[in-house]
Amino acid sequence: SPAWGQGKNRSHQKPNSLAGLQEENSVTHHEVKCQGKPSARIYRKGEEKRKAGNAVRSAMKSEEQKIKDARRGPLAPFPNQKSEATEPPKTPPSSCDSANAAVTKQALKKSSRKSKAERQSEERKRIDELIESGKEEGMKIDLIGGKGRGVIATKQFSRGDFVVEDHGDLIEIAGAKKREALYTQDPSTGCYMYYFQYLGKAYCVDATRETNRLGRLINHSKGGNCQTKLHDIDGVSHLNLIASRDIAAGEELLYGYGDRSKASTEAHPWLKH
């Protein structure tokens, strides 16, 4: 109907326009009484009622729209507006959240970090396996000028690394002296004996017997790059060679054979160096 169409056109009026219309209606009604024209008055009254009704509807629609907007929220799209997939605004992390994240990260690092005892236990097991299997890694036999056979590193060893076992017969000092006396009678036999003290008692590792083990072929030097260390496996002692400094690939592996008797140094002069 025309009245509804007019009200629709006025839907953008402010809510306080209702008060203005009411005031205007009262003045118009007074003027119509004074003029005394019934037909005009009836028409004006009908028109005024329609205008007032339209204004009320417009105000009600405006209030309803406000309620809908409030329910929809600030991020919801309007009815005629295309909705776009937008991410909700990211709120900056609070200092408390940052602190909690740092603590969690630190806890994860600690849990993934192995203790010193765990690392030592794993390294010991690895050395046990190498000794028991006879596996000798990172070295090869080579001919050394003035010495004969020797052992060359084929990889880098860091200070403190296990290098190889000085594999041989572990004997007490009395038996070692007897063997050494026999070896000195034939200089071609060579000298593969290492003397050491353990818990106040003298021992010797005799590696003179020919085997395929590389550790027994490592030559003597008082300024060597390896040092000896006893390693126990199920009550049996093994003499290991440990890198006393960083060793580069291509270097000859050397260690001191320990205190030597006068007879040994006379038979093998290189033991003096």
CB atoms closer than 10 angstroms to residue 243: 19
CB atoms within 10 A of CB 136: 18
User: Of 15-19, 73-77, 171-175, 209-213, where does mean pLDDT reach its minimum?
Assistant: 15-19
The pTM of this model reads 0.54
Q: Give the amino acid at 192.
A: Y
Q: Is 98 a domain residue?
A: no
- Residue 163's nearest CA partner among 231, 233, 235, 232 is 231
When mean pLDDT is compared across 133-147, 154-168, 211-225, 252-266, the lowest value belongs to: 252-266
Task: For the chain, give the longest Cα–Cα distance.
Answer: 159
Average pLDDT, the chain: 73
The torsion angles phi and psi of 162, rounded to 5 degrees, stand at -70, 130
47 and 177 fall within a common domain: no
Are residues 131 and 186 both part of a single domain?
yes
Same domain, 23 and 135: no
Checking if the pLDDT of 213 tops 90, the result is yes
CB 225 within 8 A of CB 251: yes
Taking residues 139-144, report their average pLDDT.
95
Helices (H) and strands (E) in the chain, counts: 7, 10
Q: What angle do CA 203, 229, 263 make, to 5 degrees?
A: 40
Higher pLDDT, 210 or 85: 210
Does residue 223 sit in the same domain as residue 159? yes
Residue 264 scores a pLDDT above 60: no
Report the C-alpha gap between 101 and 94 in whole angstroms: 11
- The answer on 252 and 154 residing in a single domain is yes
Q: What is the pLDDT of residues 142-189, one digit of tens each?
A: 999 888 899 999 999 999 999 999 988 999 989 998 998 888 888 777
234 pLDDT more than 50? yes
CATH of the domain at 262: 2.170.270.10
- Provide the domain count of the chain: 2
Tokens of 26: 């009262």
Residues 158 and 25 in one domain: no
- The reply to whether 127 and 203 lie within a common domain is yes
Domain housing 249 = 119-272
Is a pLDDT exceeding 80 seen at residue 223? yes
pLDDT digits (tens, 9 = 90+) for 37-78: 444 455 555 566 566 666 656 666 666 666 666 555 555 454
* E strand or H helix that includes residue 239: strand 236-243
Neighbours of 164 (CB within 10 A): 25
One domain for residues 167 and 260: yes
Q: Are 253 and 242 in contact (CB under 8 A)?
A: no
Do 235 and 175 share a domain, yes or no? Answer: yes
Q: Domain for residue 67, yes or no? A: yes
